Each structure stands twice: as C-alpha cells, then as structure tokens.
Structure 1
Amino acid sequence: MHEYLRAVGFSEIKDKEQLNLLLQMTEDGYQSERTSGNRGGSDFSERKKEFAPGMGIMLCGEYDEKENYHRNYYFPYFQGKQEKLYDSVTVERHAEKESYAGVCDDLSLGVSIIFYVQNAADLLNEKRLNQLSNCTVILKFTGLSISGKVLLPVVKGMTEEENTDAVLQRTKLIQAARDGDEEAIENLTLEDMDTYSMISRRIANEDVFSIVSTYFMPYGVECDHYSILGEILECRQVENSLTEEKIYVLTVESHDLVFEVCINQKDLLGEPQVGRRFKGVIWLQGEMVFQP
C-alpha cells in the first residue's frame, strides 16, 4: 500500500481488499489515458482518475497482443501549476518498473533536485522520437506530504527586491564556481563562514526557526524525499469526492523555488495562512513539459 495515498484523501484505506476496490474503480472509471511504446515493444499506458482538483490515482500498465490491459503499479499524483524552465534535465529509469526519476540542477538552491516523473508516457514518446536532448524542459514541481506543521513567520531583514537581488547574485556566484572561477569559490566560502558565525552567535539566545527562515534538503534514503521549510504564498482547501476528506493545497516558496504541496487536513498541525510557514517532509513529483 502506497504510503502517500493519505495525502490525496485516502487515509482510511487499511487493507488490500479496500485498496483493490479503489484501484479497480480507477481502472474501470479512468478519466484520461496516455499510451506509448516501452522498451519491450508493448504499449505502455497511464490511466488517471481525479478525486479532487488536480489530484488522484495514476495506474500504469501495458496492453498485450490481444489489447487486454494489465495493471502493473499505481501511485497517488498531484499536478501543480507553478512552472520553471530548466535547460538540462537528466532522466533515469527505475530498475524494477517502467517509472523514471528526473535530476536537474537548480542554482537558486545550489543543489541537484531529484524528483519522481509523473508523465512517463510523454517521456517515452520524446525518447522514442529522439527529441529529448533538443527540447527545452518546463517542470511543474509538486509535493505530497503526510506530516507537516505550520510555523509563524519571521521578521525579514531585507525587502523583497533586496532578497531577489541577493538570490540572483548568489546564483551567479554558484554558476561561476562551477565553471572554475576561484574568486567565486572564495566568495562563497567566506559567505558560508559568515553565515555559520552568525548562526553560532544567535543560537545561544534564539530558537533555530527564528534564524533559519527557509530550507530545502534531502530527507532519508529515498532520493526524491525532502524536508522543507518555506513561506506559504497561497492556501486553499479541496475535498476528495469519494471519501470527503479535506486536503490543504499550499503554494510554498522555499529558497526561491515555488511549488505546490498537498497534505491531508488530519496530517497538518496548525492553521495555514498566507505569510506563515510550512515545515514538513514531502515526496517530490514533477511533470515534464517538452517544448520543440
């Protein structure tokens, strides 16, 4: 049973019988389907059923020679609206099934982001046509969470314009450092030392979350899981049409990366509001939009 089913409103599924009924309902009543050829020559299929706006269950399977559908695996999905352009995205197939992990470098974060590819059928079509390397890739990141808290905001030391300039300057330094610029490497090292000194000085009298306003870092041993802290830019509540469970959809900004997070109302501690902060663990998904 998938751990993140509860994030899209299925917290009461406790056994395989209930799960099979849900999956059969999705297979029989799917709302959209995408197909593509896979490595074995079969027709790979993604069947999707929405149970709340932008979220639901995705079934992945194959058609045999007699056009009979065989379900291989499933996962809960959440499609976001926040887009970001990336010049280079590496995609690798998982060993055990026809699913993919994507990797991209985000200079605003200063790290590589690893995510679960939502639209494998679109990816297979691009690879089959040998167009992937020639495409500009737009990514729509989303996070599914089963544990989160709402924190109060912190007083910002810089205006929004000053913060944007600082992020842009750091991004340029990181890019220069990757290209081998020794001065940029030295500047980044001195900046990190100043930050460490400031935190060491303030942590004696302040709570850590009044000093650290945002973070985005890997969590656990699974590459596409992250622990995040970010400001809530938008907040809305939706309802699962089958279970009637309430789900929060939060637009979060973490280290200049803006994306949407969905979390069951039962799993969120606190009342989310614009300006407050979300702290939690997410399973990062990404929809790849290929441009010619």
Structure 2
Amino acid sequence: MNIYTRAVGFSDLTSEKEEEFIKLGIEESLKEGFVVRHEKLDRGVIILRLSESTGLYIFGRYDGDNFKYEYYYPFVVGTRVTDNEELTVERHLDKESYAVICDELKTGVTLIFYLQNVMDYFDYLFSGKEFKLEKFNPDVRNAISKQAIRNKKVALTALSLGGLILLPTAKKKKIKRSAKEEESRKNLIQAAKKGDENAIESLTIEDMDKYNELSQRITKEDIFTIIDSTFMPCGVECDQYSVVGEILELKTEENIYTGEKMYIMLLDCNGLVITTVINAKHLMGEPEIGRRFKGQIWLQGNVKF
C-alpha cells in the first residue's frame, strides 16, 4: 500500500480495503471509458479523482483488451510552473515509473522528483518514431530516455504525512534584485557548475559571509526566527525532502469517498513554489496565509512536455 494515500484523505485505509477500492475504481472507470491507452506500448492509465485537486493515478498494461493493473500513487495538481535548464528522466528498477533530475534555474538547486504524467512522457519520447514493440530493444529505450531534455517547465507538487505550523518571522525590508542582477546570478551559478574558478570563488565568499552572519545571530536568536525557509534532502529516498516554507495560498478540500478534510497549500521554500497537500488530521496548528509549514514531503512533478 502506498502510505501517502493518507495525505489525500484515506487515514484509515487498510491493505484489504485498498485492494477492494482500487479494483472497484478500475472496473467503474473501464465501464465509463475513463482510461487513457497508449496504443504503441499497450500501456494504460486511469485517473481516479478524490477531490478537485487530488486523485489516484492508476497505471497498468493491456493484454489484448484486458487492463492489467500494476501500481498506483496519489497526487495533487500543481498550480505554478518553474523554469529548468535541463531534465533527465530515469526509470525506477521495480516498476515502470520514473524519477526526474532537473536543474532549477532560479536557485541553482538540483532536484529529484517523482514523474506524475508518465503517459505524456511516453508520447514525447516516441513521437514521430515508428517501431514494433516486440522488436524494440529495452536497452535502446532506456538509453533514449536518459538523454537530456532542455527548457521544459515543471509544476512541482508534494504530499506530506505530517507537519506543524510556524508563525511568520519579522522580515526586514529587502531591496529586490533587478532582472539584470537575477540574470547575472543565474549565469554565475551556471558558470560554477561548469568549473569556472572565479564563479566558484564568488559564490563561496557569499556563502562564507552568510555563515558568519548566522554564527553571530544564532547565539541570541532562535533558529526559526533567522531562517525563513529550508529545502533539504531527507531520508534514503531521493525524492523525500524536509522543508520549511511560507504559505502563499491556502484552500481546503474533502475526499469525496471518506469526507476527510485536506489542506492544499502553495509553499515558497527557498524560492521553489510547491503545491502541497496534507490531511488535516496530520497537521499540528492552524494554517493561514503568511504562516509557515514545517514537515517532510514526497516531491512530485508534472513536466510540460
């Protein structure tokens, strides 16, 4: 059972109930024709909606006209997109799902997230290519999939199993960087990644200045009054992160099957804007716009192929 189904309103779902629910969902969707089929690959996807913004993505393959269920995962629909210089998509070993590695341009951070729209990726990967599936070498397919994809936007989303609400910090007024300064910083980060020693030195000096400032303040202030937001890898899974982010937008939705309330929050984590869902039962504190969310997330992304 995917434990993140609890984030989308199934806090009491057992393995037996999960199996029955997925089976009924597949039967109803096939009966109504709510299935997307990739004719060349004989793969299929059912999107089972749980609320306006959340759902279950049910993936399977076709054996003739029969849909064979393989796996599912919960998701939330992203509302903001981010620019990326380059994406690399790699298949997971145990099933036909994919991880995406991307360089986020604004912050220079390398992200790893779970790909939401697998069927769109298949369409992009094999568009204009004529082949017979039985003659198509899997090794060739994997080599094609690992090629870099450039200049595609991504809507980042996340699911959380637990968190708490922090009060906002008293922010000092900052002079916003001009577009020219933002572009200059992006170029500096890109140059550092390519091994430019001057760029690396400039960024290192900037980091050292910040470190010295923080070292002086930490003796007198609480850590969460100094640091507005964080975004750090967490645990052994590559797409798990520990975050502190400001709530930019907030709405509540109910799971149509269980009636459980969910919070859909748009978080700003170190410049990354992420649409995040959490079950109201698993959140400590009262979320409001301007307050901060602290917790662990499973990062997903919808790539605009």
- 8 Å contact kept, 2:158–2:298: yes
Gap change, CA 1:53 and 1:23, over 3 Å in 2: same
The alpha-carbon deviation at position 173 of structure 1 amounts to: 2.3
The residue identity in structure 2 corresponding to 1:151 is L
* Structure 2 unmatched ranges of 5 or more: 130-144
CA distance in 2, matches of 1:160, 1:71: 54
Q: Which is worse superposed, 122-131 or 161-170?
A: 161-170
Q: Find out whether 1:204 has 2:213 as its counterpart.
A: no
The residue identity in structure 2 corresponding to 1:5 is T
Question: What is the aligned-residue RMSD (CA, Å)?
Answer: 2.2
CA distance in 2, matches of 1:2, 1:160: 45
Q: Find out whether 1:118 has 2:116 as its counterpart.
A: yes
The residue identity in structure 2 corresponding to 1:58 is Y
Secondary structure of the residue that 2:83 maps to in structure 1?
A: strand
In structure 1, what is the equivalent of residue 82 of structure 2?
84
In structure 2, what is the equivalent of residue 241 of structure 1?
256
In structure 1, what is the equivalent of residue 237 of structure 2?
222
In structure 2, what is the equivalent of residue 287 of structure 1?
302
Structural mapping, 1:1-292, within 5 Å: 1-14=1-14, 16-30=15-29, 32-36=34-38, 42-65=41-64, 67-129=65-127, 136-159=151-174, 161-162=176-177, 170-290=185-305
Secondary structure of the residue that 1:205 maps to in structure 2?
A: coil
Secondary structure of the residue that 1:273 maps to in structure 2?
A: coil
CA distance in 2, matches of 1:60, 1:88: 26
Instruction: Provide, for residues 87-143 of structure 1, a one-character-per-residue CA deviation record: whole Å limited to 9, x for no partner.
Output: 321000111111111110014333210110111111112111269867742211100
* Structure 1 unmatched ranges of 5 or more: none
The residue identity in structure 2 corresponding to 1:129 is S
CA distance in 1, matches of 2:124, 2:224: 43
- 8 Å contact kept, 2:268–2:274: yes
CA distance in 2, matches of 1:18, 1:212: 42
The alpha-carbon deviation at position 166 of structure 1 amounts to: 7.1
The alpha-carbon deviation at position 58 of structure 1 amounts to: 1.3
- Give identity over the alignment, percent: 41
TM-score (norm 1): 0.90
- 8 Å contact kept, 2:246–2:293: yes
Gap change, CA 1:64 and 1:27, over 3 Å in 2: same
The alpha-carbon deviation at position 178 of structure 1 amounts to: 2.0
Which of the two has greater strand per residue?
A: 1
- 8 Å contact kept, 1:26–1:48: no
**How many corresponding residue pairs?**
285
The residue identity in structure 1 corresponding to 2:158 is G
Secondary structure of the residue that 1:221 maps to in structure 2?
A: coil
CA distance in 2, matches of 1:120, 1:156: 41
CA distance in 2, matches of 1:214, 1:135: 28
